[in-house]
Each structure stands twice: as structure tokens, then as C-alpha cells.
Structure 1
Amino acid sequence: MCGFTGWLSSERDLTRERAALAAMTETMACRGPDESGTWVRPSIALGHRRLAVIDLPGGKQPMTVDTPAGTVALVFAGEIYNFVELRTLLEKHGHRFRTGSDTEVLLRGYLEWGDQLAGRLNGMFAAGIWDGPRRRLVLLRDRLGVKPLYYFPTPDGVVFGSEPKAILASPCAEPVVDADGLRELVELTQPPGWSLWKGMRSVVPGSMVTVDDSGIRTMSYWQLAAAAHGQDQRSTVDTVRSLFADSVQRQLVSDVPRCILLSGGLDSSAITGVAAESLRDQAEQLRTFSVEVSNNQDGFVVDPVHAAPDTPFALEMAAHVGSKHEVVQLQAGQMADPAIRRAAVAARDAPTFGQMDASLYLLFKAIREESTVALSGESADELFGGYKWFHDPRIATARTFPWLAAGLGSFGIRGSALDPELVRKLDIPAYVADQYATAVAEVDHLDGESGTTRQMRTLSYLALRRFLQMWLERKDRMSMAVGLEVRVPFCDHRLVEYVYNVPWALKSFDHREKSLLRHATSQVMPRSVALREKSGYPWSHDPSYESEVRAQARELAADPTSRVFSVVPRKWLQEATSSDRPDDVSTASLDWVLDLHHWFDIYRPSIAI
């Protein structure tokens, strides 16, 4: 896992821009703490920071191959899980390898297959490839969007990087946020290619962007397409079991310590159980980690998102497989610490999800002391129908994004803090309606597909192509901020393609969420875990967290110099934190205002609407 950046220019001599490239590359130091490298030619400059995971001595980047027609150079972040098979195939085509890294397999794979390379890859990846013979740049991103990649068109080329901060460190881009940027901060719909920063784009998952003298073009190499499903229930469960086991086994490959993020829920327990089986013959004890926030055991509060505390289930699952388990204990004061909030905002390049991001950052920081690679359960709920809104007929027929119909939107929390005139200009309802219409129009349906089948395919598509993106982004940024690589076995594209096309009646055949996954993996976990009701990521119910957030917000309200007051009325914050109105404004709203304050202070953005 790594971070990279680059600059393509037809008019500048980039050999004179080494200081700028160094500054851009340095912003990726947290993603790659082990090594740094640059490669500069007059029209192309590449920078890379490496987190060494596979072939520790041999995977240095930027990596180049000289051909008779010119040099091909690569910067890459992620993991190619089928690199051994691809290497064997390339060797049969006459390629000779200098290293044992998946990086070189990617580079030589491009030499052999060109634009057809992406379709052969199984992995999570983002890459920038300078094709010297063709005088073009290729930006490539994995099918589900596990690894991020952004680019900023310039009058004579493009600047790109694993995170926006690398691009903003260049002399080409200014930190400007327009109306659409603000709209997406307020209500999350995750349009493809969206970036918070004006003029900046993200490479759409499953696509390739090429840049040459004729301009910038985007080509899709993978789509979430509809296909007929011809297997019965037993065969479907068996196929899911096989695909999932293969994905986990591939993603366990590492030359550094690895672990599993084990919450005690079905998703993480499935990964843990399959991983334990895979490692049993290697006599290797599996490491697992879970998180417990302050006051969450004794003072647990049942709500629509949290059905039961995680720790008892995580400990039961760890005992079942014999893993070396650690419960990372987090206190309210840690999660409310302004330094942690600031670190999370800097990691995201944007305001965060408050205590949920702070706790995830602290969890990953603790895990990084023991492991460099972790496996996590993202996308299982989106893929197998785990969210409650999949099972609510009112939401299936709602003409908006299902998470918004389920009351999980943020407009009430975030919009309430903004200047009312700004909110009027943003017209969030119209923005959401437009995004929803665009998203639904993308869905590929089978001929004759109608009724519930059509509705549930649409919900599944929205979950996988929109909702999942915000969770993958969150997990990537919080983990890479501390140099931890997180892999996501449920994002294996083979598993996604297969399960996406299983009819809804078969996905929910036992009238519970995630029927297929439960029946495919129940043999590797205790019955109590397999039958556990879904519970969301934990947050603190400790009153001291709310008290600390309100105290910080009160202190902010007393500071008229904060640039947050360009979008949040200072009078509103003063009234919201007054001692005689302690409960009128939610802690989540104040959390977001504090995030905004740190974001304005770090990035000094201009607001252009």
C-alpha cells in the first residue's frame, strides 16, 4: 500500500519543478512511511511514498522499464491479489522479472496487454502509468473504488494524486469549493467522479483516464451489469462459500504482520473464521482486534442502529478460532481531543463523521503498533442486503436514495448549522432529486424485470455504487493516515458480480438479512454469532463526550476570527452552546461545526457559489 502523485505538462519543464514535486510527494508520507522516490522528465514527473508489504526489498517506485521506443514508468498503490498467476503468464510471453513484487507484474502487464490490463486484475489498486512510446498518461482505478485516485486538469496537462492534498500542494490547484462541493458535504449522495474541490475529479471506479496532447478521455472497463442467475439455493450458497474463501485466502498474502478487524458481527466473523481455517495448516496464530468505546458495555443504549454491544460476540468468536485478540479501549476524552479531530480532518481533506472517524483513527493507530495489514468487512451489507432499509417495503418504493429514506441523511444535522441564506442557495432537495434520477438511470436491468425484482436490483446498485463509496473512502483515509493497509475481501469483483445478480428472493430466503452469507459461512463461527442481529459501528454514549464537544463549541463561539463563521452564523453557535439551552442542538451538529472549523483552519478554502 502506498501513496503517489504526479504532474503532466506539455509547456513547463518539470525538471525545474523538483521542489514542487517533492512537496506533493511529501503529503503522501503517511500513506507510505517506508520509502520515498521520484522520477522526473521534462514533461512528466512522478512521486511515490511506499508502505512495504510485498517483496520488501524489491518493490521500490517509481518503477520503470526502458523499451526501444521509450520508457514506461509506473506509480502504484494497492495490492494485486492474482499477481502470481499473472507473473506466470507473463513469463510465458517472454518477460523476465527483476523483483518478486506485484508492482513489476502490473508494469510488465501493461507492456504486454496495454489498455486490456485492467480487466485481468484482481485487487484493490490505483495507478499512474507514463507510456513514453505513446506520449500519454494512464490513470487506473479498481472496480469498486477501494483505492482513491484524483486528478486536476490544467491548460497543458494534468496533476494527479492518491489524495486531494497532493494536488493542492502543487502550484496548479487552489483550494476552492463550489456549490456542488458544499451540497455533497451537507447531504451525501456520492456522484461518480465527484471531488469536494472545484476543478478536481476522482477517477470513477472501474475506469481508466488517459491524457495526451489530444486531451483527457475516460473509458469504463467494468460495470455492474445485470445477468441471469440459473443456480438453485444450495448451489448458490456453495458458490458464495467458494468465492468468498478464495478471496480471503488471496488477501491474506503478506510479507508483514496481518490481522482481522473483528467486531463480532457476521461479516467480520466470516472473514475471521475463513482466515483461521486457511492459516491452520501454517501453524500461525491469527491476530484479531475489536474496539470498545467508553461506557459502552455498562451503559449500552439500544437504538435503531445498535442492537447489542460488540465485545462479548468478538471475544466469543476469537475464542472459537483461537485468535490472539485485543480489545482496543477508547475513552471519550480521546475521541473528543481536538488534536485527534484535526488529524482525522487532515486525513479526510474534509469535515469528518465526528466521533465515528475519531474512534476509527484511534483504533487503527493502536493496531498499527502490532500489524501492517488488516482485513475488514466493508461491502458485505451492500452486497448481501444487510441494512434494515433493504427489508422495508416503504423504502424500496421511495423515490430517493434508500439511506436518506431510512433517515440516515445528514441534512438535518449539518444543514441546521449553516447560514439559512446559504442553505436556500444550495437547494439540497433539488440536488438530491437530480442525483437520484441520474443514479437510477444507470442501472442495467434484465428484459422483463419488474416489480420487487426490479426495485431490489436498483437498491443493490445504489448501495454498491453510491453508499459503499463513502465507507470505503472513510476506511482508506483513516487507515492510511497511520500507515495501515486495510483489505476488503467482500469487494472481490468476482463475488460482487455473482451476488449482485442473485435474485432478491434467494438473497433473503430465510427471511433475514444476509441469508446467503450466513448460510455460506455459519460453519466457521458459533451459532450465536451467526444468528446475531446486525449492529452498526459503535459510538460513545458517555455523557462526558457530549460535555467536551459542547465546551469546545462554546470556546469556538467566543472566537470571532474563525473562518467557519463564513458559512455558520456565529450567533447560531452562541445560542446553541448557551448554558440555558443545552439540549436544543444535537452533539452531532456541534461535532460537524468543530470539524468545519479545523478544516477551514488547515486548508483555508475559498467558497465560490
Structure 2
Amino acid sequence: MCGITGWISFDRDLRSEAATLDAMTETMSCRGPDDRGTWVQGHAALGHRRLAIIDLPGGRQPMSAETPHGTVALVYSGETYNFGELRRELSGRGHRFTTDSDTEVVLRGYLEWGDRIAERLNGMYAFAVWDGRRDQLVMIRDRMGIKPFYYRPTADGVLFGSEPKAILANPLAPARITADGLRELFTMVKTPGHAVWDGIAEVEPGTVVTVDRAGTHRRVYWQLETRPHTDDRDTTIATVRSLLDDIVRRQLIADVPRCTLLSGGLDSSAMTAIAARQLGAHGEKVRSFAVDFVGQTDRFVADELRGTPDTPFVHDVARTAHTDHQDIVLDAQALADPDIRAKVIRARDLPTGFGDMDASLYLLFRAIRDQSTVALSGESADEVFGGYLQFFDEEARRGETFPWLVHFGRHFGDDAEVLRPDLLTTLDLDGYVADSYRSAIAPIRRLDGESDFEYRMRRICNLHLTRFVRVLLDRKDRASMAVGLEVRVPFCDHRLVEYVYNTPWALKSFDGREKSLLREATADVLPRSVYDRVKSPYPSTQDPKYAAALQDQARELLANPSHPVFDLVDRDRLHRFAHRELPVHTQADRRGLERALDLAVWLDLYRPEIQLA
């Protein structure tokens, strides 16, 4: 796992731009604390920061190969889980390897198959190849968008990086946000390719982007496709389990300490239990970590979202699977710490508005990194198997909008309401969401003979897998890589995603509950308490001290009326949030405070030009 960056300029010799390339590369130091490297040849410059996971001495980058017709150089971020099979195939085709790294397998694979290497990879990856034989840059991103990848066309080439901050370190890329960027920031619709920053785009998941003197070209090598599902229930359950066993086995491979993230929910518990069984066969224990809050279990109050605290279920799994477990317990002071807020926003490059859930994720990962370098996560199982409440909510099912917006609006309110009324009028967020929804559902193909209900559920599943999951994957990647922790996501294996996506909803929920297939496929390794547990979202602190700290910080912000945040935030509304009698009465109040404070810190850190006209 690493951070990559680069600059292609067809009209200049970049050997004189070493300082700028170094600056771009150093923005990725958090993603790669173990090593750094740069490579420049003519009008191509590549930078790399390395987090060493496999072949610690041999996987240095940028990695290059000399051919009779020019140099081919690679910067690579991620993991290829089938690199062993690919290495054997390439060796049979005459390739000779000098390292044991998956990076060299990808480089040699590109030499053999060109950009068609993408179709052969199983993993999470974002990489760029400068092909000196053709004077072109090839950028490739994994199918599900697990690893981030951004680029910005220039007058004579392109800038790219794992994160926008690498691109923004180049003087050719001004830090500018337009009205369209603000719309994307405040709607949670995750438009494919949209990066919020003006001029910067994402390499979309499952896509190859090629840049040469003729311009920029895109090729989609993978996307969700509608296919008939002919397996019966027992066969489907057995197939899911077989896939999970293979996926977890592949993703446990590492030359550094690894662990699992354990929440006590079905997803992380199933993954942890499978990993424990596999490692236990070799006499090794799984290390597991969970987040908790001071006093939360003892003083837990059930609400519409969370009916039970996580910790008792976490401990049931740890006992059943015999993991070496540790709870990371956080207090309100740490969650509300302005320094942590700044670190989270620097990691994300944007004020994305997850509040204490972002802070706790960052603090959890920071604590884990002291003991492990790789962690397996249950992220995306809800999207794959249908686990969220909105999958079962009739209003969300029938609404002509993104189903999570119906659910979030009901429970959290609209955090865009903290914005100035005149800005809301300018942005027309409702219109933006409506347009985005129509674009999102347009390509979803219906099976012949598929019922109206099954087609509606197919659309909901598709939207979660092509839009919503990308928000959460980016969040997890940025929070983890900010502290140099590699998080792997077994449920995002494209084989599992393809198979379960095309399973009819009646089969996904055959017992009337969420994630029926996953529950039955892993029933033999789960404690009964977890098997019976109702879905509970990622935990959030209930400590009133957290809300009080937010109010104190908001009052400090209000005491500085010239702060640029008030070009965006409605001062009167923030004043009401900041002076509301404690405890803060609604989630909307708290989210409004978090959103305003995040915006203020982001403006201080990045000083973006806001261009609304």
C-alpha cells in the first residue's frame, strides 16, 4: 500500500522540476512512511511513497523495465491478491523476476498484456504506467474503487495522484471549488468521476485512462452487469461461503503484522471468524480490534438506529473465535479535539461531514497502527448483501431518489441547512440530486421477466454498489492511510459482488431479515448472539460532553465574524445550535455544528477559492 503521484508534460523537460515533483511526492508521506522514490525521464516524472507489505526489501518504486523500444516505468498503490498465479503464468511466458513483490508482477503483466492487465487482476489497486515505447501514460483503478486515484489534465499533459493534495501541490493546479463542487460536497450522491475540486477528476472504478499527445482516452474494463441467477438457495449459500473462504485466505497474505476490525456485527464477525479458523489451522491467532467509548456500554440508550451497544457482541466473537482482542476506548475530549478534526480533514482533503464517526475511525486506526500494519474490514457487506435499514424501508424503496438520502433525512436531518439561505438557493441541491438520480438509474438493465419489485430492489442494490459504497471506501482508505495502516476489504472482491448482485432480492432476504445469505453462509462460525443480532450502524458517541465541546468551539468561531466560513454558513442558525440548552436535542443540531466546524477548519487549511459565478 502506497501513495503515488506524477506529472506528464509533453512540451517540457521535467528534469528541471525536481523540487515540484518532490513536493507532490511528500504529500503522500502518510500513505507511505517506509520509503520514497522519484523517477524522471524527459517529459515524464513519477513519485512514490511506500508502505512495505510484501517483499519488504524488494518492492521499491518507481519500478522500471528497459525494452528495445523505450523504458516502461510504474508507480503502484494497493495489493494484487492473485499475484502468485500471475507470476507463474508470466514466468511460463519467459519473464524473469528479480523481486518477490506483486508490483513487479503488475509491471511484467503490463509488458505482456498492455492495459489488458486490468482484467487479470484480483485486488485493490491504483497504478500508473509511463510507457516510453508509445509516449503515453496509462492509469488503472480497481473495479470497486477501493483505492483512490485522481488526475488533472493540463495544457500539455496531466497531473495525477492518490489524493487531490498531491495534485494541488503543483502550481498548475489551483485550489478552487465551484458551485458544482459544493453541490457534490453537500448531497452525498457520489457522482462517478467527480472530485469536488475544480479541474480534478477521479479515475473511475473499473476504468483505464490513457493520456498521450492526442488527448485523454477512457476504457471501461469492468462494471456491474445484469445476469440471470439460476442457483437454488443451498447452492447460493454454499457458493457465497466458498468465495468468502478463498477471499479471506488471499487477503491474509502479508509479510507484516495483520489484524481484523471487529464491530460485533454480522459482517466483521463473519470475516474475523473465518480468518481465525484459517490461521488457527496453522497455530496462529487473529488479532482483533474494536472501537468503544468511555461509559458507552453501561450508559447506552437505544434509539431508532442502534438498539444495542457493540461491545458485548464484540467480546462474544472474540471468545468464540479465540482472537487476541483489544478494545480501543475513546473519550469525548479526544473525539472533539480540534487537532484531530484538522488531521481528519487533511486526510480527506474535504469537509465531508461525518463528525465524531470520522474522528473515532482515525483514532482507532492510529491506535491499531502501533501494533499492526494490515487490517481486514467488513466494509461493503451491507451494500453487497442488502444490510441497511433503507433496503427494508417502504418510503426509501418507492422514492424516486437515492434511498440512503430518505433514511438519513429522517434520522439526521439535512446538514446542508447550516448553509446560508442565499447559497442554498444558488446551489439548488434538490435539483442536483434529482438529475444525479436519473443519471444513476438509467444504465441499470432489467432482466427479462423480472418483476417490478425485484427490478426496484436491483436498482437499490446497484445504487449502493456504484454510488454509496464509494463514499465509505474513500472514507476508510483516507482515515487508515493517514496513519500508514492498510485496510483490506474482502467483501469488495469483484467475484463476490458480481455473484450476489445478481441474486434475486427474494433470495437475499429469504428469511425476512437483512443479509440472509451471509448469515447462513457463516452460521457455523458465529456465536448465536451475533447470528440473531439486528443490524447496527457504525457507533457514535452518546456522551453529552462531546456535544458541549462542539458548542464551545462554535461559540469561539462565532466570536470571529470575519472568518471566511460565514461566506458559506448561516451565522444565525449556527448561533442557535451553539446556544441550544444541553443536551443538544437532535442529531441534526449536532451534525450542523460538526459541519460548520469542519468547513471552518478546511478553509483555514486549504484556503480554496470559492467560485460561484
The interval holding the TM-score normalised by the smaller chain is over 0.9
Flag the 1:291–1:579 CA change in 2: closer, same or farther, 3 A: closer
Structure 1 residue runs of 5 or longer lacking an equivalent are: none
Moved more, 18-27 or 398-407: 398-407
Please say if 1:497 is aligned against 2:507: no
Q: Counterparts of 2:315 and 2:460 in 1: how far apart (Å)?
A: 34
Cα-to-partner distance string for 1:520-559 (whole Å, 9 max, x where unaligned): 0010111111121111111111010000000000001001
Identity percentage of aligned residues? 56
Aligned to 2:347, the other structure's residue is in SS state: helix
Flag the 1:410–1:582 CA change in 2: closer, same or farther, 3 A: closer
Equivalence for 2:593: 590
Flag the 1:410–1:146 CA change in 2: closer, same or farther, 3 A: farther
Cα-to-partner distance string for 1:589-608 (whole Å, 9 max, x where unaligned): 01111100110000001111
Equivalence for 1:284: 284
Q: Counterparts of 2:592 and 2:74 in 1: how far apart (Å)?
A: 43
Q: Counterparts of 2:391 and 2:292 in 1: how far apart (Å)?
A: 28
Amino acid at match of 2:611: A
Shift of residue 516 of structure 1?
0.3
Contact 1:80–1:125 at 8 Å: present in 2 too?
yes
Amino acid at match of 1:67: T
Amino acid at match of 2:426: K
Amino acid at match of 1:101: S
Q: Counterparts of 1:376 and 1:573 in 2: how far apart (Å)?
A: 36
Contact 2:412–2:591 at 8 Å: present in 1 too?
no
Flag the 1:411–1:139 CA change in 2: closer, same or farther, 3 A: farther
Shift of residue 93 of structure 1?
0.3
Amino acid at match of 1:192: P
Q: Counterparts of 1:277 and 1:105 in 2: how far apart (Å)?
A: 30
Cα-to-partner distance string for 1:55-92 (whole Å, 9 max, x where unaligned): 00000000000000000000010000000000000000
State how 1:395-544 maps to structure 2 within 5 Å. Answer: 395-408=396-409, 412-544=413-545
Moved more, 563-572 or 475-484: 563-572
TM-score normalised by length of structure 1:
0.98
Shift of residue 449 of structure 1?
2.4
Contact 2:151–2:159 at 8 Å: present in 1 too?
yes
Amino acid at match of 2:469: L
Amino acid at match of 2:48: H
Shift of residue 572 of structure 1?
3.8
TM-score normalised by length of structure 2:
0.97
Cα-to-partner distance string for 1:451-477 (whole Å, 9 max, x where unaligned): 111111100000000010110000000
Shift of residue 187 of structure 1?
1.3
Equivalence for 1:19: 19
Number of residue equivalences = 609
Q: Counterparts of 1:147 and 1:295 in 2: how far apart (Å)?
A: 35
Q: Counterparts of 2:178 and 2:319 in 1: how far apart (Å)?
A: 51
State how 1:112-261 maps to structure 2 within 5 Å. Answer: 112-261=112-261
Aligned to 2:408, the other structure's residue is in SS state: coil
Contact 1:383–1:500 at 8 Å: present in 2 too?
yes
Equivalence for 1:40: 40
Shift of residue 392 of structure 1?
2.3
Shift of residue 411 of structure 1?
9.2
Contact 1:183–1:426 at 8 Å: present in 2 too?
yes
Shift of residue 575 of structure 1?
4.3
Equivalence for 2:610: 607
Equivalence for 2:265: 265
Structure 2 residue runs of 5 or longer lacking an equivalent are: none
Shift of residue 445 of structure 1?
2.2
Shift of residue 41 of structure 1?
1.5
Shift of residue 407 of structure 1?
3.2
Q: Counterparts of 1:48 and 1:212 in 2: how far apart (Å)?
A: 22
Flag the 1:95–1:387 CA change in 2: closer, same or farther, 3 A: same
Q: CA RMSD in A?
A: 1.4
Cα-to-partner distance string for 1:270-327 (whole Å, 9 max, x where unaligned): 1111101111121111100001023311221212221211111111100111111000
Q: Counterparts of 2:463 and 2:419 in 1: how far apart (Å)?
A: 28
Q: Counterparts of 1:40 and 1:444 in 2: how far apart (Å)?
A: 45
Moved more, 132-141 or 388-397: 388-397
Moved more, 407-416 or 385-394: 407-416
Moved more, 387-396 or 236-245: 387-396
Contact 2:59–2:101 at 8 Å: present in 1 too?
yes
Equivalence for 1:315: 315
Equivalence for 1:371: 372
